[in-house]
Copies of this chain bind each other. A is one copy, B any other.
Amino acid sequence: MADSRTMQVVRTVDAIRELVSAARADGCSIGLVPTMGALHHAHVSLMDAARRDCDFTVVSVFVNPTQFGPNEDYERYPRDEAADLSTCRSAGVDAVFLPAVGEMYAPEAVTAVRVAGLTSGLCGAFRPGHFDGVATVVAKLLNIVQPDRAYFGEKDAQQLAVIRRVVIDLDMPTEVVGCPTVREESGLAVSSRNAYLSSAERVRAQSLYAALQAGRARILSGERDAESVIGTMRSVIDPAGSAKVDYVSIVEPATMQPVARIEDPVLLALAVRIGGTRLIDNLTVDPSADSL
């Protein structure tokens, strides 16, 4: 699709609906990659997956204010529209939806989508209201674009679990596709927020993935006690006890509920503040796997 026509850039709900309707009338399946911009090669991997599965790929770029807390980085979140459009064009995207905040939220809007349980722990405990904002904006984007499939990174594991539940619980006719975390050579998970890191902080940030790997190694060596594995992970991130660890947790992957004994596949998940930058990462580990 993308090779035969120019990428289209639209800013209104009506305009993106019109493009998608036309593509659908041509018999195209529709893929959506929702993003907050500051696009990097992990986003491109989502676009590649969408293009592989679908005939018409839409990328949305919207820094959603309702998922940021009052003391978070909404204002300074990186924005570079020209670079984002260039990335989308190179990736062979068919349409980019770039709404302004006023196009997405009327002043009189009062509706929110809330996901209970799943959102109480991990990042939800440190970012009150964050996942309501995510669930609501994703429901809106899915209703606007009505894609056959929507693509999200596994790096944001709790977000992905929340979105899967919203789509199932509200019977939305879209398949949610999780895509593997993309990492730098060092193991650092690719993230738009890595742009905030100094080069010294970037080195310290490698401890997140190192901790996940250490946790995995202990589980595959036979350790089944979650607290013990968490202790190991904490000691890797923060041997001197001076880093700001929001959490290091071992949870059941679908419900995000803490696990005490590790018998089934689990998610090792952590959030750490490196300087002023909050980074998250996670790794799924199957204790029955027989090797490192």
**A interface residues (Cβ-Cβ under 8 A, vs B):** 13, 17, 106, 108-118, 135-136, 139-140, 143-144, 146, 165-166, 168-173, 255
Contact = CB atoms under 8 A, between A and B. Distances in A.
A143 B118 contact: no
A116 B106 contact: no
A144 B116 CA distance: 22
Given A111-B113, A165-B110, A171 B13 contact: yes
23 contacts: A13-B171, A106-B168, A106-B169, A109-B168, A109-B169, A110-B115, A110-B117, A110-B165, A110-B169, A111-B114, A111-B115, A111-B135, A111-B165, A111-B169, A111-B170, A112-B113, A112-B114, A112-B116, A114-B114, A136-B170, A139-B170, A143-B172, A144-B171
Contacts of A255: 108
A109 B164 CA distance: 11
A28 to B, nearest CB: 16
A110 B167 CA distance: 11
Contacts of A170: 111, 113, 136, 139-140, 143
Of A135, A166, A170, most buried by chain B (CB within 10 Å of CB) is A170
A13 B171 CA distance: 9
A113 B17 CA distance: 23
